Amino acid sequence: MKPKVIVYKKLEPVVLEYVQEACEVVYFEKIDENTAAAFYEELKNAEGLLGSGLKVDHELLEKAPHLKIVSNISVGYDNLDISELNRRGIMATNTPNVLNETVADTMIGLLLAAARRIPELDHYVKSGKWTSHLTPTHFGVDMHHKTLGIIGMGRIGAAIAKRAHFGFGMNILYHNRTRNEEVERTYMATHRTLEELCQEADFICLMVPLTPETKNLIGETEFALMKNTAIFVNGSRGATVDEEALVGALQNGQILAAGLDVFVEEPVRHDHPLLSMPNVVTLPHIGSATSETRIGMAQFAAENLVLGLQGKKPPALLTQDPSNR
């Protein structure tokens, strides 16, 4: 008898077929107040969960007595209570590496779009305002040969450093819990304290996971340290930044511009002050959103799921291996 799994994210047919070969699949397009009762009923006998964004905590796990694995279609896993999953001997997995290059492309795009005011000037042309020669009020700033500070030098941070160093001739500073000798050697990157990085960098890119330690990591103090010509981009999680402090820093001219792929509340409310600022480039959390990468992430997550249900160790295991307990 095949193990029952609940899928709560639309999968490409090839990925869904792979899961169905090994599992009995129950699919929910979304889990909300209209589908919650049916979801919890199916959860009673489910051995696996496959999707992204679902909060898996004590309350949910109490309703899932047969659960063996939770497979996140995401590199981030702040929706998972890892300590509770460990306590229950339930595996949890994510999808690292598959999206590194794609997210790095997005972050470079955000940096460049904010520096050269691309969305703002695109609107300027399309709204019929381009009726004469441009003046310095329309100019952006150079990105090449400037200093980029990367906060969070993991695999994605390193991929951003590669593009910035070799593609734009940028000087790389980074702040990380541990030194990364490979990026220091390969991209001539220099380790800095968070305070030093904020003071020295022309561009600042935030790429840390969301943890209790990184919540509101960048706030009033950090923005006050930045150059008034600095451009700040966030590709991590919205809650790693104090959004009120960011709004204030932009309004007060403490920093020049910002590029955001993430927000505290997603989807972001339409009347959020950041959305009315021409010097803020906003994206709807699309860091990894290309067809190729999303299919690769889903396939990786599906493989994690199936291997875990077969009693094997998934390659991207976040929790303790139950076989070693």
Query: Which of 88, 155, 191, 285 is labelled catalytic?
Result: 285
Show Cβ contacts of residue 195 under 8 Å, excluding neighbours closer than 6 positions.
Answer: 222, 225
Query: What span, in angstroms and rounded, lies between the C-alpha atoms of 225 and 199?
Result: 5
CA 146, CA 164: separation in Å to the nearest integer? 9
Residue of 117, 175, 237, 294 marked active site: 237
237 a catalytic residue: yes
Neighbouring C-beta atoms of residue 269, cutoff 10 Å? 9
Catalytic residue status for 116:
no
Strand partners, 70: 49, 92
Mention every residue, 6+ apart, whose C-beta is less than 8 A from residue 116: 140, 141, 143
Cα–Cα distance between 147 and 111 in angstroms, integer? 12
C-alpha 86: how far from chain center: 24
Question: What's the CA angle centered on 206, arms 213 and 219, to 5 degrees?
Answer: 60
Q: Which residues are catalytic?
A: 237, 266, 285
